[in-house]
Structure 1
Amino acid sequence: MHATYDARLQEAARAMIRPADGFSYEQAFSRNVGWVTLEEQQRLREARVAIAGLGGVGGSHVTTLARLGIGALSIADFDTFDYSNFNRQAGATLASVGKAKVQIAAAMASDINPEMDIRIFPGGVSSDNIDAFLDGVSVYVDGLDFFAFEARQLVFAACRAKGIPAVTAAPLGMGAAVLVFMPQGMSFEDYFGFEGRSNAEKALRFLVGLAPARLHSAHLVVPSRIDLTEQRGPSTAMGCMLCSGVAATEALKLILGRGPVWSAPWGYQFDAFGRRMGKTWRPGGHRNPLQRLAISIGQRRLGIPTAKP
């Protein structure tokens, strides 16, 4: 049934950790109880969360959700670790350079919870494996690279079709911007308006849509390090770790059905450097007048031509 994920790589990941002599799930995650009930902890144990992309935020999502006691993960990434990952990515060490991110992430999660059921998709997500990747999933947490537009459109559309809530948390500077897409709410496409756009314009629309409050913009001291056309930008470990905290919190609320969830067109951004929090609302998504104005200003400043869908 799950021939599109690599069980052999999963076994290789498990071989990297110590035997689980004396491991007890109840003991390992007992300190969660108080913020969750015993019954809720069991529901987390029975839940499966999918994470596509195991880079800056994705790897941190894996370890945070594992420590929350989530019982099953589906993880996807085609990349290997390199030295440029050291400033922010969980699992990026001298020992992991050149090794598959899915293998290292699975080993880290299994080392926290050796009972965890982990499905590994070492080729990333595609139309060929999206059904297997999302099979039995309670919540999808987005860890894809900022510029992975095709894969992101595919996953969010599939989540909507399958009735799976999808959470995206973007590390912006030393903070996090969060959006939740519910199956019955505004869709990813209606919010961002990617269809028919160039990659440069998708990057601009994604950035503007993620953080309409722009709380991070005042702290960028070397603007030239951002180039949407060349698909590169700076990042910090603080931003990535904040993302994993808020994304796991949203996943917990969705799995347990407890606590408010602000879904698109609502969103929020926390900027740790400026110690500010912003809640945003963009009814109409990318068609909202404020969004259209922000996109238009960004196009002029960055020299990005407008593409008619």
Structure 2
Amino acid sequence: MNAGFSSVSAFSRNIGWVSAAEQLALGGARIAIAGLGGVGGAHLLTLARLGIGAFHISDFDRFEVHNFNRQAGAFMSTLDQPKVEVLARMAADINPEADIRTFPAGVTQDNVDAFLNGVDVYVDGIDFFAMDARRMLFRACAERGIPALTAAPLGMGVALLYFKPGGMSFEEYFCLEGQSRQEQFARLMAGLSPAMLQRTYLAAPEAVNFGEQRGPSTAMACDLCAGVMGTAVLKVLLKRGPLRPAPWGMHFDAYRQKLRFTWRPLGNRNPLQKLLLAFIRPRLHMK
């Protein structure tokens, strides 16, 4: 029993933008989120407030001071606490009736079946540089017919990609197989951001160093990601209107107040992407 809590009341203000029947359907959905840092934690809390009823969440990291600029669970009171435990508490504080299953060791080949078991949608929140885990999870989703979405925080904007079951896969789009780790990072960046709307206002280029696996971030981008992701998940779950899958991408930049839709048949093998990669590689400080 959760005294004072009513799921009907808690999510009643969603009604209007969704129907009462759709709100019930959201309550019966199960979402998997890997990574609970900048975007993953914000995704979880946004989807919890949407009334999603069940989550599988994973992260092996703990909160540190350098997380404060953008991560939803980062506070003085949560320093050195496991991210998965902190975010599970926060989501349960929004909906104490939610079924929240935690994977504190992250997602591996040993537990990916359990992580994706019964899941309706996979939401990517993994750190940009965790390439092996990201590839493994998107491949597992494709094999199981699970819709998979990623919303990348770029500058002060968001880039969304949707990998629809039966459509273009993550690997077909990014073309990472057989590439060096440094080249994989370049291809991930190019594939996430074909429009490169953020490129014109990077104030300190030296802050981007892929060799040291670090780059700048903003809370605004993470919050935009959560809003765009929450809406995309709603559309997938409720089959509410079109959502363009890869090789389509969407990039909105709040700083430049621009929206771009990109279409890249062949993914990073597309001639436009080859030109973009030639532009990106020397600027990533990958040594």
Q: TM-score, normalised by structure 1?
A: 0.91
Deviation at 1:230, TM superposition (A): 1.5
1:49 aligns with 2:1: no
C-alpha distance in 1, partners of 2:188/2:36?
19
Is the partner of 1:205 in helix, strand or coil?
helix
Partner of 1:16: none
C-alpha distance in 1, partners of 2:88/2:167?
32
CA offsets per residue over residues 236-258 of structure 1, 9 Å max, x none? 00000100110111110000011
Partner of 2:206: 224
Partner of 1:204: 186
CA offsets per residue over residues 100-128 of structure 1, 9 Å max, x none? 00000100000000000001000001000
Check whether the contact 2:210–2:286 (CA below 8 A) recurs between aligned residues.
Answer: no
Deviation at 1:188, TM superposition (A): 0.3
Taking the TM superposition and a 5 Å limit, the aligned residue runs for 1:37-116 are 37-116=19-98
Q: How many residues end up aligned between the 2 structures?
A: 287
Residue number among 205, 209, 229 corresponding to 1:247 in the alignment = 229
1:31 aligns with 2:20: no
CA offsets per residue over residues 43-80 of structure 1, 9 Å max, x none? 00000000000000000011000000000000000000
C-alpha distance in 1, partners of 2:108/2:284?
31
Deviation at 1:197, TM superposition (A): 1.6
Deviation at 1:296, TM superposition (A): 2.4
Runs ≥4 in structure 1, deviation > 3 angstroms? 300-305
Matching residue's letter, 1:89: Q
C-alpha distance in 1, partners of 2:280/2:25?
44
Unpaired segments of 5 or more residues in structure 2?
none
What is the aligned-residue identity percentage? 57
Is the partner of 1:231 in helix, strand or coil?
coil
C-alpha distance in 1, partners of 2:238/2:75?
35
Unpaired segments of 5 or more residues in structure 1?
1-18
Partner of 1:277: 259
Deviation at 1:294, TM superposition (A): 1.2
Partner of 1:134: 116
Q: TM-score, normalised by structure 2?
A: 0.98
Check whether the contact 2:209–2:286 (CA below 8 A) recurs between aligned residues.
Answer: no
Residue number among 137, 150, 154 corresponding to 1:168 in the alignment = 150
1:120 aligns with 2:102: yes
C-alpha distance in 2, partners of 1:97/1:283?
44
C-alpha distance in 1, partners of 2:240/2:205?
40
Check whether the contact 1:199–1:229 (CA below 8 A) recurs between aligned residues.
Answer: no
Taking the TM superposition and a 5 Å limit, the aligned residue runs for 1:256-275 are 256-275=238-257
